[in-house]
Structure 1
Amino acid sequence: MTASKPLVILKETILAGESKTINMEIAKLHTMNKLKIPIIVERSKLDGPTVLFTACLHGDEINGTEIVRQLIVQKINKPKRGTIICIPIINIFGFINKTREFPDGRDLNRVFPGSKNGSLASRFAYYILKDIIPHVDYAIDFHAGGASRFNAPQIRIVPENPELKKLSDVFNAPFTLYSKNISGSFRNSCDKLGVKMLLFEGGKSLDLNLQITEEAIAGTKRFLQHLDMLNPRKKASVPKSKSIYIEKSNWVRAKYSGMFHGLTTIGKFVKKGELLATISDPYGKVEHKMKAPHDGYVINVNDAPIVYQGDAIFHISTQLELES
């Protein structure tokens, strides 16, 4: 193979075989302090694809940041060939404040492709697509469940896309969900620009979970091995079982407000009528039972100690993809 061409990101040149951290600056804090978003680039001397690993699009989803941090610490981001770009924190404002949104109140994952002269979140979206994504062939965006909702480790891909299906097979998370692209999302914009993206979900906001991190690292190593990019000093594990593909699922919502006592575990297959949880009043007078409305895998559990009527409590599969 021949040496890679120079890569230019935000007017900085990274040569083949070079490592560089580029600091992206778009806006300052209201205190006039500078805010820098580190973009960590590792290049092999050998030609190959460019892979992007991103996290913390939502500022409170810090388990994704831990996953990308571990890719760097373990030197998994040093490719055998090609280029690996890591952005552990995209929404630096939200990360500082431990909030999901940008200071302008907007969800960054709903404003893509953004605007050069738009809101703060919109400007970030614009520059990410303008300066980074044109260099990228493949990407994995790491997320966690919102609020107190804990996601089983899963990959989300659009249906009827054989190439993404192959990549999700290789990653082999415990679950894979078919999920259409949402207008304004990072994944939707990347798809339109030809980037093949897997979206990883696991854990919950403002929480670090070792099992989730290990599942993500193992899948990422298999992903890189498939692209012949895995650092030769690293080994990808062989999965014990195949990913369970979920075509349809629905939320089970609380019928009552009260103190929530979950009685099932994430990832478990439950049968119709099985007891999932109880919701009680604080005074020891009332206790309501929540039962599974149908058979299925529990792919999200609400860990909140107190719930209100209508809150999403369990996310359960309703239709699985039959093995071919």
Structure 2
Amino acid sequence: MKDRAIYLLGERILPGESKIVEVEIAKLHTMTKLKVPIIIERSKIDGPVVLFSAGLHGDEINGTEIVRQIIRRKINKPKCGTIICIPIINIFGFVNQSRQFPDGRDLNRVFPGSKTGSLASRFAHFLVKEIVPLLDYAVDFHAGGASRFNAPQIRIVQNNTELKELAKVFKAPFTLYSKNISGSFRSVCTKLGVKMLLFEGGKSLDLNTEITQEGIDGAKRFLFHLDMLNPKKDADFTVDPTLFIEKSNWIRAQYSGLFIGLTKTGSYVTKGDVLATISDPFGKVEHKVKAPNSGYIINANDGAIVYQGDAIFHISTQLENE
């Protein structure tokens, strides 16, 4: 008889079992152990294996909150198959409220990693060797960095019909076509045959209830599509279809100064609309930032001060089929 168990770090997880496997990659400089909990829920019925993960960047805590609530609300108890949740991948960055690992490296740029490499590289190697081979699907939750607030959005590569269908099912307000970045978790998952959606929403070191709910609702629709959603949970399909954005541009500050944004992320603007002002602190000069084209604002800088050349708004320039 075929062994239907899943094995992770020597732990045997049978159908119908729930288990938390704690992974210790390294200790703090104080010799304090830091462990990464991996929460596994298996149905007695065979089905796909899905990963919900967050915290690749330790300061992107809104993604952690989404996965936490998926667990808290028992959405991770599947009708069939297996759901693996990792609320915080970069536990070191989370402790330090930092994007990077303590070695200064961006974990999301060192995949597939190395068993004998840097600390970040070793953890990437663990994920690739121990977690990724178990998976069929994954949703990785992120947030905007450097005070930039992302409208809730899914990112996928273009010309992949299966990922496009999954993005339609997830129904985030926006879906952006973006290439896989070399060394990223998404890139290595794609190469190894895992179908991954990357969710972006909110900003670093911030919790936003609307972003959290978008992520939770999308996860439920995703599981319903795979026939994995617990029958006790409902998925809301009444929301508007996702808007596929083929092309977009960053609007950059032409001046340095105090930045006052006047436009809500996710809103549609018309060419020439005033999006923000940039002023000197002495009351002499105030510059208006105007929309260079009509489109949706999918990211906005929430910083109070900007410098010339800073990215301040991300605006769509072409929707699919326009």
Report the TM-score, using the length of structure 2 for normalisation: 0.99
Say whether 1:262 aligns with 2:261.
Answer: yes
**2:209 corresponds to:** 210
Partners of 2:314 and 2:238 in 1: CA distance: 25
Say whether 1:193 aligns with 2:199.
Answer: no
**2:35 corresponds to:** 36
**2:296 corresponds to:** 297
Say whether 1:183 aligns with 2:189.
Answer: no
**Structure 1 unmatched runs, 5+:** none
Bigger shift: 15-24 or 231-240?
231-240
Q: Deviation digits for residues 199-244 of structure 1, max 9, x if unmatched?
A: 0000000000000000111111000000000011000001321101
What residue identity is the alignment partner of 1:30? Answer: H
What residue identity is the alignment partner of 1:130? Answer: K
- Percent identity between the two aligned chains: 73
Shift of 1:4: 7.9
What residue identity is the alignment partner of 1:105? Answer: G
Shift of 1:3: 10
**1:228 corresponds to:** 227
Q: Is the 8 A contact 1:172 1:239 kept in 2?
A: no
Q: Is the 8 A contact 2:248 2:314 kept in 1?
A: yes
Shift in alpha-carbon separation, 1:72–1:242, aligned structure 2, 3 A: same
Partners of 1:110 and 1:55 in 2: CA distance: 15
The number of equivalent residue pairs is 322
Partners of 2:140 and 2:198 in 1: CA distance: 5
Partners of 2:239 and 2:222 in 1: CA distance: 16
Secondary structure of 1:69 counterpart: helix
1:132-171 matches, within 5 Å, as 132-171=131-170
Q: Is the 8 A contact 2:298 2:314 kept in 1?
A: yes
**2:82 corresponds to:** 83
Q: Is the 8 A contact 1:50 1:83 kept in 2?
A: yes
1:300-311 matches, within 5 Å, as 300-311=299-310
What residue identity is the alignment partner of 2:242? Answer: S
Q: Deviation digits for residues 66-120 of structure 1, max 9, x if unmatched?
A: 0000000000000000000000000000000000000010000000000111110
Secondary structure of 2:34 counterpart: coil
**1:110 corresponds to:** 109
**Structure 2 unmatched runs, 5+:** none
Bigger shift: 236-245 or 106-115?
236-245
Partners of 2:247 and 2:42 in 1: CA distance: 40
**2:13 corresponds to:** 14
Secondary structure of 2:313 counterpart: strand
Report the TM-score, using the length of structure 1 for normalisation: 0.98
Q: Is the 8 A contact 1:3 1:45 kept in 2?
A: no
Q: Is the 8 A contact 1:157 1:180 kept in 2?
A: yes
Secondary structure of 2:62 counterpart: helix
Shift of 1:288: 0.5
Shift of 1:170: 0.3
**1:173 corresponds to:** 172
Shift of 1:156: 0.3
Say whether 1:248 aligns with 2:221.
Answer: no
Partners of 2:186 and 2:35 in 1: CA distance: 23
What residue identity is the alignment partner of 1:75? Answer: K
Secondary structure of 1:299 counterpart: strand
What residue identity is the alignment partner of 1:12? Answer: E
Aligned-pair Cα RMSD in Å: 1.2
Q: Deviation digits for residues 157-210 of structure 1, max 9, x if unmatched?
A: 000000000000000100000011000000000000000000000000000000
Shift of 1:21: 0.2
Q: Is the 8 A contact 1:4 1:16 kept in 2?
A: no
Shift of 1:147: 1.5
